[in-house]
Amino acid sequence: MKRILVTGATGQIGTDLVDKLMEVYGDDNILSCSRRARPDNWAGTHYESLDVTDGKRFYELAKDFKADTILHLAAVLSAVGEDNPQLLWDINVNGLYNSLEIARELDTALFVPSSIGAFGPSTPKMDTPQVTLQRPTTAYGVSKVAGELLCDYYFKRFGVDTRGVRFPGLISYKALPGGGTTDYAVHIYYDALEKGSYTSFIGKGTYMDMMYMPDAVDCILDLMEADPDKLIDRNAFNVSGMSFEPEEIKASIQKYIPDFTMDYDVDPVRQAIADSWPDRMDISAAKEQWGFDPKYDLDAMTKDMLEKLAKK
Residues in touch with ligand AKB (CB under 6 A): 77-78, 115-117, 167-169, 177, 180-182
Q: How far apart are CA 250 and CA 197, in angstroms?
A: 10
Please identify, using beta-carbon distances, which residue of 30 and 116 lies nearer to ligand AKB: 116
Please tell me the number of Cα atoms within 13 Å of 212 on its side-chain side.
Answer: 20
Give me the least distance between CB of 120 and ligand AKB, in Å please.
13
Q: Which of 199, 202, 187, 192 is nearest to 268 (CA)?
A: 202
Please identify, using beta-carbon distances, which residue of 84 and 254 lies nearer to ligand AKB: 84
Q: How far apart are CA 49 and CA 73, in angstroms?
A: 14
Do 57 and 31 touch, CB atoms closer than 8 A? Answer: no
Please identify, using beta-carbon distances, which residue of 39 and 168 lies nearer to ligand AKB: 168
Do 206 and 271 touch, CB atoms closer than 8 A? Answer: yes
Please identify, using beta-carbon distances, which residue of 117 and 246 lies nearer to ligand AKB: 117
Please identify, using beta-carbon distances, which residue of 15 and 181 lies nearer to ligand AKB: 181
Give me the least distance between CB of 78 and ligand AKB, in Å please.
3
Indicate if 256 belongs to the active site.
no
Give me the least distance between CB of 117 and ligand AKB, in Å please.
5
Do 196 and 144 touch, CB atoms closer than 8 A? Answer: no
Give the DSSP letter string of 143-191: HHHHHHHHHHHHHHHH---EE-EEE-EEE-SSS--SS-STTHHHHHHHH
Do 225 and 232 touch, CB atoms closer than 8 A? Answer: no
Q: How far apart are CA 227 and CA 289, in angstroms?
A: 9
From the list 47, 140, 154, 189, the catalytic residue is 140
Instruction: Classify residue 189 as exposed, middle or buried by CB count within 10 Å of its CB (0-12, 13-18, 19+).
Output: buried
Please identify, using beta-carbon distances, which residue of 12 and 130 lies nearer to ligand AKB: 12
Q: What is the largest CA-CA distance in the chain?
A: 57
Pairing of strands 242-244, 208-212: antiparallel
Q: How many Cβ atoms sit within 10 Å of the Cβ of residue 188?
A: 25
Angle at 309 between CA 308 and CA 312, to 5 degrees: 90
Amino acid 89 reads W
Give me the least distance between CB of 116 and ligand AKB, in Å please.
5
Residues labelled catalytic: 140
